[in-house]
Structure 1
Amino acid sequence: MIEVTDLRVLSSGRTLVDGVSFTVPEGRVLALVGASGSGKTTTGLALLGERPQGTQVTGTIRIAGRWPAPPGTVGYVPQHPSSVLNPARRIGRVLNGIARLHGTSVSAALASARLPADRAFLRRFPHQLSGGQQQRLVLAQALLTAPRVIVADEATTGQDAITRGELAATLRELEVTLVLLSHDLDIVRALADDIVILRDGKVVESGPAVLEAPHSTYAKALVAAQPDPAAPVTARPLADVPRLRVRDLTAGYRGRPAVQRITLDVAGGERLGVVGRSGSGKTTLARCLAGLHPWTAGGVAVDTVRLPPRRRTRPHRTLVQYVFQDARASFDPWRPVDEQVARTAVRLRNVPSGRARTEALEHLERMGLDATLARRRPHHLSGGELQRAALARALLARPRVLICDEITSGLDTLTQATILDLLTDLDLTLLFISHDLGVVARIADTIAVIDQGRIVEHGPAARVLRTPAHNLTRALLNDPTTSAKKRSPVGTDTMPT
């Protein structure tokens, strides 16, 4: 079905993909795994006939024996939904337009993507959906073209364990050939018939059992760095006085409640993990705390300062900083990264621009980004590098409370470990939103589980992870990706070369 031979992609003298070859029989699943910048996305885009601007592509690609593939043959699900969703058009209008072009069914595509097809849902705009819902909406758009091949780039990014399991089952049931670009090793184990490990654009290892019995040092490191929710949790002493106080907080969208009477205390230096299903209200709570969404009842205070629900002053904004899930969307694509990081110190602390630039470079250096890289525009940085830059930008405000919203989703296990190490070295109060309970287990002192806008469980991380009291917590801890059963291998012809 798919034959790739000696694929090479060059950009300004730099090799992005270096001699990659593999085959994928019809109806099978191939996973490309590797760190940010390893060449996965560039390889995936090549299957669509796309390439980054200014690059040279050599080698051969055949899809069903043809190249280029006929329009609609290859569907694409990108890592960041915001890059393909139209923020100004209602969901239904966009889906209906695609369906008319291809003679397909909107309701069937939404059902396959595990989304509702009722009128209320179709009248929403993309920004009114959770990150996980946006990702599934992009999958539905791809299915409307009736593709024979789908290239899914981090399709499970930002989704809870239950939804990930549902999506894994959905992808397995699709009658298409699937090329999965993923850092999610559990999804790869559940779905992939064959796996290719990439590093610096080269294949370092391939086969159906790479993750179970890796041979290369790099593959072993990727597997070893995967966080485990069953790993021991070390309890740290916490301050008795709360730094962040939330009382009966209630908020919603157009009369629809998203957060309902949440009360929460977070101590100085405490790291609180906030978990729950996609759309449960985690991000709405975080946005309220950061002043990005107004609440309708209740209150929020940091130390002795009561925060208003909207129109916060400069001192208010310095108290709570927010690092977004989609780091790329949070940067201006046309300005250098260090300039945008420095702007935080200028705007929120009134620091002169020269000194702010120096502070920005110092923070970026601590995050592992040297001055040469920091002076580039965002598209020159990998996802992990941009996420570290976003973290440096937030820290330049010198906040007392830092909110990290799914900032490790879509990152490889090695880059993820680097980000978590950076966070654990910070001396501030941290709210860490994540669907990955292994990541939460590694960083959190306490955990709050949210369901339908309410906290249903809250306590020390060790207790919540070892003896969960609520059914939702138990369901999130029970990895549902294992329910996506793989078919038996076809034979040696499925092996990448």
Structure 2
Amino acid sequence: MNPVAEIDALSVTVAGRTLLAGVDLRIAAGEIVALVGGSGSGKTTTALALFGEFPPGAEVRGSARVRGRAAFVPQHPAAALDPVRRIGSALRELAGHHGNADPATALRRAHLPGDRAFLRRFPHQLSGGQQQRLLIAGALLGDPVLVVADEPTTGQDPVTRAGIVAELRGLRAAGIAVLVLCHDLDVVRGSADRVLVLDRGRVVEEGRVAEVFAAPAAEYTRALVAAAAPGAPSPRGQTPAGVGAARLEITGLAARHHDAPVLHDITLTVEPGTCLGIVGRSGSGKTTLARCLAGLHAPAAGAIRLDGTPLPRTLEARGRGGIAAVQYVFQDAAGSFDHHRPILEQVARTAIRLRGLRARAARAAAAELLERLGLPAATTARRPAHLSGGELQRAALARALLARPRLLVADEITTALDTVTRAAILDVLATLGITRVVIAHDLAVITRIADTVAVLHEGRVLDHGPATAVLAGR
């Protein structure tokens, strides 16, 4: 094999903490290699080393090099794209940095239209899959020999996810080397040739994908594969559906984005202690519905009641008690934290503001809950930039739970988690006893946690009922 990218005996430590320990990696032209491992396992540190980037104050031994240009496709396309610039303008500027490369060719290679109407759109006017393909198009400007894709299918529905896997295969067919950082083992199976499994900065297993996943040798790999396999649903909340007064009632809810209707006549009921799973394609209105529940998007019509009491339409009108009662966990956990303050301090602030605890008691309560979710004191003393995406997502969940809400709204919160951590978090959610509304593209997540399911399509409820009945018909 004549590799286009090589990492030799790479070790990285920061303030005495080992991020990588003797990692070796080779990627050939026209090959897809997947890096798999839990949050904080070293995947991102390994990938960024190929661009010569290391954490501040890092002590580095070994080497990483690419024979040609490498391009990076980040995890969250909506955060990476400039919301106030039209697509064509941003692409032309980027092309100028690569010797006036042809944007039309890059768009065509990424299976996107290059007509004037498309180029005049803004990023928010694209679906999640189109946004991801746009980032791939930008990466292809300048003809890279290597494309590094960080969780490229995060938060995508199954159809869009399959399309992105096809895009990765297309890069391979074009002779481009691809390094994929991924928690989704189905995506790895469908796209990668080889896989490296990282655990606490060390490669514990590597080989052909089919062989590693069929008979994993390392205990850690076996745990990842087992957690990703279909299994029995988690234990449900203590109150069965259909008993007592409804905790959440949504009646005739409608919502708009500017002049465009997004939700139409949504009517749903959630019983105390149960979980409503909301599924649907990208753009079906799932997140808008969730934001309406949390007071982050004002409905155009209809009503939302919590324990029979109407909820004010906006967050500002709800007051401290109303904000604590309905807590929202965002998909993009990194964007929901202040990057200048330690995680423990930010999580504890919830108990101070919404429960009236004193600072010392709030920090103790926050530390206990964070520990329960797998975040020890050494981790939560750091600022957000020093935590992985999965660690930040667990911290965001802890912050919401610390408010002791009556309703928890979770928007794709397991997408950045490895299979083992995801299973653990879902078990926690399933046994909380809190009423939950969970949005997920992954039907395995919904199967594991939901009591009832609502299927949204183009802003309308297409199907709604017990999870077993609705999912059996999917």
The RMSD of aligned alpha carbons is 2.3
Match of 1:78 in 2: 74
Counterpart mapping for 1:200-239 below 5 A: 200-208=200-208, 209-228=211-230, 237-238=240-241, 239=243
Map Cα deviations across residues 397-440 of structure 1 (whole Å, 9 max, x no partner): 22111011111102110111111111112111111111111111
Say if 2:386 is the partner of 1:389: no
Distance 1:447 1:281 in 2: 15
What is the aligned counterpart of 2:346 among 332, 335, 340? 340
How many residue pairs end up in the alignment?
A: 460
SS of 1:279's equivalent in the other structure is coil
Match of 2:136 in 1: 139
What is the aligned counterpart of 2:463 among 421, 441, 457? 457
Deviates more, 1:103-112 or 1:199-208: 103-112
Match of 1:482 in 2: none
| Contact map agreement 1:233 1:461 (CA 8 A) in 2 | no
| Contact map agreement 1:321 1:399 (CA 8 A) in 2 | yes
Distance 1:406 1:111 in 2: 30
Change in 2 beyond 3 A, CA 1:346/1:142: same
Map Cα deviations across residues 66-106 of structure 1 (whole Å, 9 max, x no partner): xxx4xxx1110122335533344344432221133333444
Q: Which amino acid in the other structure matches residue 252 of structure 1?
A: R
SS of 1:210's equivalent in the other structure is helix
Q: How much does 1:221 deviate? A: 0.8
Match of 2:39 in 1: 36
Match of 2:317 in 1: 312
| Contact map agreement 1:227 1:439 (CA 8 A) in 2 | no
Change in 2 beyond 3 A, CA 1:460/1:120: farther
Deviates more, 1:374-383 or 1:87-96: 87-96
Deviates more, 1:230-239 or 1:360-369: 230-239
Deviates more, 1:86-95 or 1:375-384: 86-95
Say if 2:54 is the partner of 1:57: no
Match of 2:152 in 1: 155
Match of 2:193 in 1: 193
Say if 2:89 is the partner of 1:93: yes
Distance 1:41 1:264 in 2: 40
Change in 2 beyond 3 A, CA 1:358/1:143: same
Q: How much does 1:227 deviate? A: 4.6
Change in 2 beyond 3 A, CA 1:98/1:2: same
Distance 1:49 1:401 in 2: 45
Q: Which amino acid in the other structure matches residue 313 of structure 1?
A: R
Q: Which amino acid in the other structure matches residue 459 of structure 1?
A: G
Change in 2 beyond 3 A, CA 1:59/1:214: same
Gaps of 5+ in 2: none
Distance 2:361 2:119 in 1: 49
| Contact map agreement 1:337 1:376 (CA 8 A) in 2 | yes
Map Cα deviations across residues 200-245 of structure 1 (whole Å, 9 max, x no partner): 11111111121122111111111000052x8568887323422111
TM-score (norm 1): 0.86
Match of 2:261 in 1: 257
Match of 1:327 in 2: 333
| Contact map agreement 2:52 2:64 (CA 8 A) in 1 | no
Q: Which amino acid in the other structure matches residue 150 of structure 1?
A: V
SS of 2:429's equivalent in the other structure is helix
Change in 2 beyond 3 A, CA 1:235/1:57: closer
Distance 2:288 2:180 in 1: 30
Distance 2:64 2:127 in 1: 36
Distance 2:214 2:251 in 1: 47
Q: How much does 1:331 deviate? A: 0.7
Distance 1:465 1:233 in 2: 16
TM-score (norm 2): 0.90
Q: Which amino acid in the other structure matches residue 212 of structure 2?
A: V
| Contact map agreement 2:235 2:431 (CA 8 A) in 1 | no
Change in 2 beyond 3 A, CA 1:308/1:158: same
Deviates more, 1:157-166 or 1:450-459: 450-459
